[in-house]
Amino acid sequence: MESILARFRRPTPKPYSTPGMAGPDIISRLPYELREMILAELSLEDISGALSVCRTWRSSWLDDGAWLSLADRWFPGLAERIRISTGADGGDAATAAAAAAAEAAEMFRRALHRIQRRTSGKFASAFQHTMCLECERFFELDKSLPVAEGGVHQFEGLQFSGISTRFPRFMMYNSGRIAWWPEMYGSPFFAIVDDLCTKMRRAYLFPNNGGFRQGYKTAISSRLFVMCRGTTVDAWHFTLNCLRSVEIPEEFDRCIAEGERILLISNNGPTPEKDGTLQRRYKVDLATKDLQGSGDARFAFNPHQRFGTHRNWASEYGGVKRLVGDDDFLLFVDGGNYTAWSFGNDIPEQPLDDGQMRWWKKLR
């Protein structure tokens, strides 16, 4: 009888142990010099396997002294590059140099862990969210963009489609930023861009839209958010946080953004192309594939690809559910809701639905 009842007992979860709570293991007891000798004898595949054993082993093998040799073995010159980017050689005081060295080591650890998770298909964190303007507790509205340049600082005075219930629509994703429309058909000139890494929300309103609800074309890249209508092209720069507008001599059918460059595709004839400053103009002959003055484009623009660049991939299910992603994030969009998985620790951990989605939990 006791064995039968044991089947119906709910198993007691094991207490979660952190590296600080656990006792010292065999790797952490080894002196630094001995660990250096062991790493010199191991191959890169063996080192990758040792780093994947547990978090305690990763912390022991990737301490502030060992990461330099590992970085040079995997990518020659990477350690020097990280030193320059963090300013490890520019500090005069010993404390500043130590802080810069610790920052460089942490940068290498984060990059290496992200590569390991991506190659093994494991995620570091995930969270669920609903695309809405009211009762927002995750994203903070950025009000640094002036209203005259299309920035939106409050949502109360905006006129949508005249109905109380709005139907948000996901449109684009690129480099950890989600572009969606609170009311696509009622106000196609009003867009929201949420940054998963910084938890900042930016709202854009097409200047001088005149209330027109048709003819808008949009694009997003790692640097720009583009909204066009007719012959007017408006581009907002994420880093500079400013608006640049330009008038194109002829109407076009499609716009694609890559970095700080915008490609405008027309029906016939040459295609004008603009860089991020929207000052220089190029002519692209699609028939001969002659890119005059834009050699770094590398034919990365694909007119038939819906979500950004050649590094992004997407698929649709019934026209409602979409799966998009890149090297950093993976998103599953279902109507006005989405779930975002991260290969790094960019998304703060939040409680997830523990009903039927246990594998969405944060990986320890």
**Do residue 114 and residue 237 come from a single domain?**
no
Considering the domain architecture, whether residues 154 and 24 belong to the same structural domain is answered as no
- Mean pLDDT, the chain, whole residue set: 69
**266 shares its domain with 169:** yes
Same domain, 247 and 335: yes
Q: What is the pLDDT of residue 17?
A: 46
Instruction: Specify whether 241 is located in the same domain as 341.
Output: yes
Give the residue-averaged pLDDT of 142-164: 75
In a domain, 1, yes or no: no
Q: Which of 99, 120, 141 is the last residue of a domain?
A: 120
Query: Are residue 104 and residue 130 in the same domain, yes or no?
Result: no
pLDDT category at 168 given cuts 50, 70, 90 is: confident
Query: Which of 97, 120, 143 is a domain's end point?
Result: 120
Total structural domains within the chain = 2
Q: Are residues 111 and 228 in the same domain?
A: no
pLDDT at site 269: 57
Same structural domain for residues 240 and 113? no
User: Of residues 238 and 282, which shows the higher confidence score?
Assistant: 238
pLDDT at 212: 80
Percent above pLDDT 90 for the chain: 7
> Is residue 2 a part of any domain in this protein?
no
Q: Residue 202's pLDDT is what?
A: 93
Q: Is residue 97 part of a domain?
A: yes
pLDDT score of 352 more than 70: no
In this structure, are 255 and 309 located in the same domain?
yes
Q: Which of 71, 49, 56, 52 is nearest to 19 (CA)?
A: 56
Local confidence band at 275 (pLDDT 50, 70, 90 cut-offs): low
User: What is the per-residue pLDDT across 21-69, written as a single tens digit (0 to 9) for each?
Assistant: 555 667 777 877 787 788 778 887 787 777 777 777 777 777 666 777 7
90 lies in the same domain as 228? no
Q: What is the pLDDT of residue 226?
A: 92
In a domain, 147, yes or no: yes
CA–CA dist 82, 63 (Å, integer):
16
Per residue in 335-346, pLDDT tens?
888 888 887 765
- Residue 134, in any domain of the structure: yes
Residue 201 belongs to a domain: yes
| Residues 90 and 223 reside in one and the same domain | no
Whether the per-residue pLDDT at 172 is higher than 80: the answer is yes
Residue 96 in any domain: the answer is yes
Are residues 96 and 158 located together in one domain of the fold?
Answer: no
Last residue of a domain, one of 120, 152, 186: 120
Query: pLDDT by residue (tens digit) across 201-248?
Result: 999 988 877 778 788 889 999 889 999 888 888 899 998 888 888 888
Q: In the predicted model, is pLDDT for residue 351 greater than 50?
A: no
Judge if pTM exceeds 0.85. Answer: no
- Percentage of residues of the chain with pLDDT beyond 70: 59
In a domain, 67, yes or no: yes
| pLDDT of residue 302 exceeding 50 | no
Which structural domain, as residue segments, surrounds residue 102?
15-120
